[in-house]
Amino acid sequence: MIGGDRKSAPRWFRLAAWVLVLWGAMGVSACISQLRHGAEAMGAASDYDRALFASLPLWYRADYAIATGTMLAGAMALLVRSRHAVALLTVSLVAVLIQFGWMFAMTDILAVKGPYTLYFPLLIMAIGALALQLAHVARRRGWID
């Protein structure tokens, strides 16, 4: 809104923003853990998991950090009602699409681990898309500047 004439946001919006901040913090934590501990970050890894992680290009790891970092920053921007939420959440969703698009198109993970490996990435993409939609709604309704 021009001149800082911001409308009051409903409670559900603030609750959703807090949930997204927690989601973003968990994503950043998982990213840091994986970058520090490799394939073993989530417990005992198979030989396939270790080989797959070792083969990931450096840009992929950077993309993962960008995806999670901008999700957390975008969620925090929603919480403080900043217009930057839209841009940050857009970057996050694009980075997630690049990350998982490359993983499923350029590796044999689906053939090795099966289609159930898609479930969590699809959930991550859906939450990213919903967060971005929430930011757009908040901007249109004047809840964020």
Q: Torsion angle of alpha carbons 40, 66, 129, 131, nearest 10°?
A: 100
Please check whether residue 81 is in contact with residue 145, taking contact to mean a CB–CB distance below 8 angstroms.
yes
CA atoms within 13 A on the CB side of 94: 7
Checking if the pLDDT of 1 tops 50, the result is no
pLDDT digit string, tens, across residues 111-136: 999 999 999 999 999 999 999 999 99
How far, rounded to the nearest angstrom, does the alpha carbon of residue 3 sit from its chain's CA centroid? 31
Concatenated DSSP letters of 25-65: HHHHHHHHHHHHHGGGGGSS--HHHHHHHHH--HHHHHHHH
Q: What pLDDT was estimated at residue 137? A: 97
Checking if the pLDDT of 16 tops 50, the result is yes
Task: Give the sign of the dihedral formed by CA 12, CA 15, CA 20, CA 23.
Answer: negative
Grade residue 5 by pLDDT with cuts at 50, 70 and 90: low
- pTM for the whole thing? 0.92
Q: What pLDDT was estimated at residue 3? A: 47
Domain layout of the chain by residue ranges: 10-141
